Amino acid sequence: MARVYNFSAGPSMLPEEVLKKAAADMLDYNGTGQSVMEMSHRSAEYEEIIHGAEAVIREVMEIPVNYKVLFLQGGASSQFAMIPLNLFRNSKRCDIVDTGTWALKAISEAKRYGTVNIVASSKDDKYRSIPALDPSKFDKDADYFHITTNNTIEGTVFADLPDTGNVPLVGDMSSDILSKPYDISKFGLVYAGAQKNLGPAGLTLVIVRDDLIGHALDFTPTMFNYKTHADGESMYNTPPTYAVYIAKLVFDHVKATGGVKAMHKKNLEKANMLYDFLDSSKLFKAVVAKGDTRSIMNIPFVSPNEDLDKKFVKEATKVGFVNLKGHRLVGGMRASIYNAMPVEGVKKLVEFMAAFEKANG
């Protein structure tokens, strides 16, 4: 069967070049006579892979030297707990912007260990926007300030980062890391589950400023302490070896194809193409209003009714545009168009949507 255009929110598409390289390496990585999956994580070959992965991600994201790069497990969801466990050290208070499902999970975990101040929420707008932030409401003594940079389910993105002064800004970047340039020095910590823009599920990337490591609450489990993994260079225990290897191939691919700036340009081209169509369509419409808080990674949209939504998803699937069904909380459709989605995939989707509109309008 031919490869499909996969619009899944995650796990999602990987660059075909990466999959081909992995296939070629499967039985014999680099003349070792083994698959990377079979390799000891303490072997020289594997150390080269994991250290190489760190070097390339540092280069493409321009990560400053005073930040550690950690390859962890447990998904972004484990970070909802790991962040308060490690960052609550003085006031044990944090500010969190409530922008939807994932932010709410960060809130409910942080509440187990300290006090959460919801600085702003777009709940009243059904999370179809990023709420305006009033800096006078920011807690100057908060131990951290948390945002979800891109809201995967709702399709919104922070157009500007809040200025939190000396309070470390923490960003859940699961669904837009590597999609556009981010100035890491503006953050104390960023984290991302790999399965959207970085590689396979099972790997979680954490980038954390040195001074935030080593102050975990005393009851923090060893495996949930950033210091454990910083000291162990992500090899305190067995890392997700194969997932790190694939992520390295993805990082190499990003670098070889022009870096994060080139990704951003391509992502804007794809997103603009789809939004332009949605804004001019008489049948379909984007859920998030026009403006700079529309995500370029996850684009929810609807037709006039649920029956037509269903028909659209069914017919799209038949011709190779898969996973367009919207999240159960939002309904309708959602096209997730991460880095690995080719421009051609969005172009063909728009053509298909135009034809569907003609037949059903």
Ligand X SMILES: *Cc1c(COP(=O)(O)O)cnc(C)c1O
Q: Is 75 in the site for ligand X (CB under 6 A)?
A: yes
196 catalytically annotated: yes
d(CA 352, CA 320): 11
Q: Is 202 in the site for ligand X (CB under 6 A)?
A: no
Task: Please select the residue that binds ligand X; options are 129, 175, 303, 339, rule is CB under 6 A.
Answer: 175
What φ, ψ does residue 340 adopt, rounded to 5°?
-80, -10
Task: Please select the residue that binds ligand X; options are 174, 197, 303, 339, rule is CB under 6 A.
Answer: 174
Task: Please select the residue that binds ligand X; options are 86, 99, 148, 267, rule is CB under 6 A.
Answer: 148
* CB of 152 vs ligand X, minimal distance in Å: 3
172 catalytically annotated: yes
Q: State which residue, 151 or 281, has the beta carbon closest to ligand X.
A: 151
Q: State which residue, 148 or 303, has the beta carbon closest to ligand X.
A: 148
Radius of gyration of the chain (CA): 21
The first and second tokens of residue 74, run together, are 């447990």
Q: Is 339 in the site for ligand X (CB under 6 A)?
A: no
Q: Which residues pair with 209 in a beta bridge?
A: 67
How many CB atoms are located within 10 Å of the residue 108 CB?
A: 12
The active-site residue out of 68, 180, 196, 248 is: 196
Q: Is 252 in the site for ligand X (CB under 6 A)?
A: no
Q: State which residue, 86 or 298, has the beta carbon closest to ligand X.
A: 298
The active-site residue out of 172, 176, 252, 309 is: 172
Q: State which residue, 46 or 180, has the beta carbon closest to ligand X.
A: 180
Residue with tokens 């912007």: 97
User: DSSP string of 160-180?
Assistant: S----TTSPEEEE-TTTTTTS
Asked if 97 and 133 count as a contact pair (C-beta separation under 8 A), the reply is: yes
Which residues touch 148 (CB under 8 Å, ≥6 apart)? 97, 99, 100, 102, 103, 106, 171, 172
d(CA 137, CA 140): 9
> What SS3 class is residue 189?
strand
Task: Please select the residue that binds ligand X; options are 15, 162, 171, 193, rule is CB under 6 A.
Answer: 193
Q: State which residue, 96 or 350, has the beta carbon closest to ligand X.
A: 96
Task: Please select the residue that binds ligand X; options are 57, 60, 72, 76, rule is CB under 6 A.
Answer: 76
Q: Is 240 in the site for ligand X (CB under 6 A)?
A: no
In this chain, which stretch among 89-97, 172-180, 282-290, 346-354 interacts with ligand X, using CB under 6 A?
Answer: 172-180
Count of residues that interact with ligand X, criterion CB under 6 A = 12
Kindly state the DSSP code that residue 223 receives in the 8-state scheme: G
Closest CA to 180 of 209, 202, 159: 159
Task: Please select the residue that binds ligand X; options are 34, 35, 77, 317, rule is CB under 6 A.
Answer: 77
The active-site residue out of 68, 95, 98, 102 is: 102
Task: Please select the residue that binds ligand X; options are 5, 7, 102, 226, rule is CB under 6 A.
Answer: 102
What burial class does residue 183 get, using C-beta atoms within 10 Å of its C-beta: 0-12 exposed, 13-18 middle, 19+ buried?
exposed
Asked if 81 and 112 count as a contact pair (C-beta separation under 8 A), the reply is: yes
In this chain, which stretch among 70-78, 83-91, 110-118, 219-227 interacts with ligand X, using CB under 6 A?
Answer: 70-78
d(CA 108, CA 116): 9
Active site residues: 102, 172, 196
Residues near ligand X (CB under 6 A): 10, 75-77, 102, 148, 152, 172, 174-175, 193, 196
